Structure 1
Amino acid sequence: MLKLTSLSDAPRVPFDLDGRIMFSSQKVEMVHLTLKPGEKIPMHSNPFEVVFYLLEGELELIVNSDSVTLIPDSTVHVGIDENRSLENKAAKIARVLVIKVF
């Protein structure tokens, strides 16, 4: 059976960001995040892999001591337990899909 999830109907993430859980299973979760100009996710690590896919805008991703600027239609992989932060330094919103691989 197919299950369609729209952004407006997707459950919100349990923290203070505009995030929606678009899909979740035991192996993978996909979250749609919208970061406003100046909004930042502070440095943290997770016990799973993450792939970021930027849909719109521009985001700076810092992983350990490396930095990369995500532009639309680009991806970056972050490994298990690596420290990372994400920041919208641009003047417009950024939308990114966060794919968590468990």
Structure 2
Amino acid sequence: MQITNVESQPVQKNPHGVNARKLYDMDHGQAVHIELKPGESLRKHITPVDVFFYVLEGTATIEIGEETEDVEKDNLVESPAKIPHRVMNNGESNVRFIVVKMPKPTESTQLL
């Protein structure tokens, strides 16, 4: 059994400049824990693989293509490959979520 504690993982340098900690990294998938402080966001980008976001805490504003929704704790949002997307924290408290990419990307994410 492999158990990974979020707090024990190092914060990964990333183009979004946010707190991101890799939890799982295998050929068939990747999972990253992200925490956004009020006013922080992921830059709009395109991933070469399907992605989903699972909100752990707070309310995230998620934009996928032309759609934008406020998404609360315990909700999962699917984002198809090659569609521009971003996650924003427009609230007054931290937002924590898991992003899962399947399969693990072999191409780079494209920032917009």
Q: Same fold (TM over 0.5)?
A: yes
SS in 2 for 1:40: coil
SS in 2 for 1:24: strand
Number of the residue aligned with 2:83: 82
1:5-33 deviation digits (Å, cap 9, x = unpaired): 11122243231210111111001111110
How many Å apart are 1:56 and its aligned residue? Answer: 0.3
Q: Which residue of 2 aligns with 1:56?
A: 57
- Give the deviation of 1:90 after TM superposition: 0.4
Cα deviations across residues 55-81 of structure 1 (Å, max 9, x unaligned)? 000111111111111100001100010
Normalised TM-score (structure 1):
0.93
Aligned to 1:3: 2
Distance in 2 between the 1:21 and 1:42 partners? 18
How many residue pairs match? The answer is 101
Structure 1 segment 21-60 matched on structure 2, within 5 A: 21-60=22-61
Name the residue aligned to 2:13.
14
2-structure distance, mates of 1:23, 1:11 = 13
Local SS of the residue matching 2:6:
coil
Structure 1 unaligned spans of 5+: none
- Identity across matched positions, percent: 24
**Root mean square deviation of aligned Cα:** 1.0
Instruction: Please tell me the residue identity of whatever aligns with 2:22.
Output: I
Distance in 2 between residues matched to 1:25 and 1:71, nearest whole Å: 28
C-alpha distance in structure 2 between counterparts of 1:75 and 1:19, whole Å: 18
Q: Distance in 2 between matches of 1:72 and 1:8?
A: 20
Shift of 1:3: 1.6
- Give 2:13's aligned amino acid: P
Check the 8 A contact 1:11/1:22 in 2, yes or no.
Answer: no
In structure 2, C-alpha distance between the alignment counterparts of 1:84 and 1:45, rounded to whole Å: 6
- TM (norm. structure 2) is 0.86
Contact 1:58–1:90 (8 Å) recurs in 2: yes
